[in-house]
Amino acid sequence: MKSSIRLITSESVTEGHPDKVCDLVSDSILDAALAQDPNSRIACETTAATGLILVVGEFSTSAYVDIPKVVRKTLLDIGYTGSEMGFDGATCAVMTSINEQSRDIAQGVDRTAAKDSADSLGAGDQGMMYGYACTDTPEYMPLPIMLAHKLTARLTKVRKSKILGYLRPDGKAQVTVAYKDGVPQYVDTVVVSAQHDDGIQHDEIVKDIKKHVIAPVIESKHLTKDTKYYINPTGRFVIGGPHGDCGLTGRKIIVDTYGGICPHGGGAFSGKDPTKVDRSACYYARYAAKNLVAAGVADRLMIQVAYAIGRAEPVSLYVDTFGTGKIGEDKIIEIVDKLFDFRPYKIIESLHLRSPIYTSTTNYGHFGKANLAWERLDKADSIKKLLDLPK
C-alpha cells in the first residue's frame, strides 16, 4: 500500500504570553520556597488580567516568600515594564490568597513515619502521566514542537537584544511538518504571531520575522518552495499579554510537553512541588523513554504510568512503540522495571527535584533541554547491556 503524507502541527508561546506569565510567576514562587526549605509543599496558581496578578494556592513550608516582590521581578524581567506595554510589573495590583496544604492530602503523601525511604512518600494525587521520545531530532523530541520552541525562544532573543526593538513580550509560533512512514520530510507551514509597537508596518514585520527569526531557526533542508508562511496573519498585534487576554497557570500543557504527538494525562506542571506526580512522574517517564530510544529499543516510544493518591507504587505501567520497537513491549516493560523506580521518593531523589530548578523549565518546553536531569542518557548503556546490544 502506498504511504501517504501526514501533516502534524505543534505550537509554542513566548514568556510574555499571558498563560506563560502565570506559569513563570508560579514557578518563581516555588523556587523561592525550595531555595529556603527543600521540603516545601507548594501548589501555586496564578491568574493575570489587566493591571492585576492574583496568586492563590496551598503552601506548607518554613520558608518566607515575599510574593509581591517575586511577582514584580518576574514581570519586569519578562519585559512588562510600563503602561505602553499594556502591563506594568512595577505598579500592577498583586493579590494573594494562600492556605496550608490539606491534612487529608498530607497524610496520604507522608505514608509512614520512616523518613528517607523509598516507601515513605506516597503519590500526591491520582492520575496518569506520559513520557515520550523519538528519533526526529538530536534532543529525541518531535520535530514540530522543537521548531516551534526555537522560534518563540528566538522571538524573545531578538526582542531583548534589540535586534527587533519594536517587538513586545507576547508571541506565538506554530509549525506544521509533513511526515511519511513516521519520518519527518519537510516543513509545510510556519505561523508566527509577534506583539509589536503601534505604528509598525505589517510588511516590515513580515520581512524582519522571516530574516531574523525564521531563517536562523529552520534549516533550509526542512523547507521547500511550497512552504507556507503566515506572519501576524490578522495584520496587527499591538494589544497583548494580560491586557489582551487573561492568563492562568497550567493552561499550556501541550506546549509544555510534546506538542500533541503524545497523549496527556491532563495535569499541569508549573507551581507544583515534586511530591505532585503530575509533574515529577512526567519528568521521570520522559527520562525512561528517552534512554530507551537512545539505546535503540524503538524509534518512537511512549510510557504511561498511573498512581493512586497515597500509594508509592504505580497502579499501572504501559508502553507503546507505535510499531517501531526492535523488541516486544513486554520485554521493554521488564527493562523499565529493572532500571527505573517510579516510586515518588525515588523519582525525587534520582532527578534532584527538591532543588530550585523550576523557572528553568517554564518556557520553551519542559523537555529537550540538555541541562535538565531527566534529559540525561545515563541509562542507555545499561539498557543495551541487558539486551546484549552494541554500545
Q: Residue 1: its pLDDT value, please?
A: 45
Position 251 in a domain: no
Position 96 in a domain: no
Q: Decide: 111 and 121 in contact? Cβ < 8 Å.
A: yes
Domain boundary among 194, 210, 239: 239
Percentage of the chain exceeding pLDDT 90: 88
Domain boundary among 192, 216, 239: 239
Residue 7 has pLDDT above 60, yes or no: yes
Number of other CB atoms surrounding residue 120 within 10 Å:
17
Domain residue limits at 162: 6-12+142-239
Q: What is the pLDDT of residues 37-57, one digit of tens each?
A: 999 999 999 999 999 999 999
CA distances, 375 to each of 253, 271, 289 (Å) = 19, 21, 10
Residue 390 has pLDDT above 80, yes or no: no
Q: Residue 2: its pLDDT value, please?
A: 57
pLDDT confidence band for 85 (50 / 70 / 90): confident
Q: Residue 86: its pLDDT value, please?
A: 86
Q: Residue 112: its pLDDT value, please?
A: 47
Whole-angstrom distance, CA of residue 318 vs CA of residue 329: 9
Q: What is the pLDDT of residues 105-128, one digit of tens each?
A: 555 566 544 455 667 788 888 999
Do 230 and 330 lie in one domain? The reply is no
pLDDT confidence band for 90 (50 / 70 / 90): very high
Whole-angstrom distance, CA of residue 230 vs CA of residue 240: 18
pLDDT confidence band for 102 (50 / 70 / 90): low
Whole-angstrom distance, CA of residue 53 vs CA of residue 88: 11
Report the run of H or E that residue 280 belongs to, with start and end: helix 277-294
Do 163 and 214 lie in one domain? The reply is yes
Q: Residue 83: its pLDDT value, please?
A: 86
> Tell me, what CATH number does 175's domain have?
3.30.300.10
Q: Residue 324: its pLDDT value, please?
A: 96
**How many folded domains does the chain comprise?**
2
Position 288 in a domain: yes
Q: What is the pLDDT of residues 170-190, one digit of tens each?
A: 999 999 999 999 999 999 999
Question: Over the range 326-343, which residues count as b (16 or more CB within 10 Å of their CB) and which as e?
Answer: eeeeeebeebbeeebbbb
Is pTM beyond 0.85 here? yes
Position 365 in a domain: yes
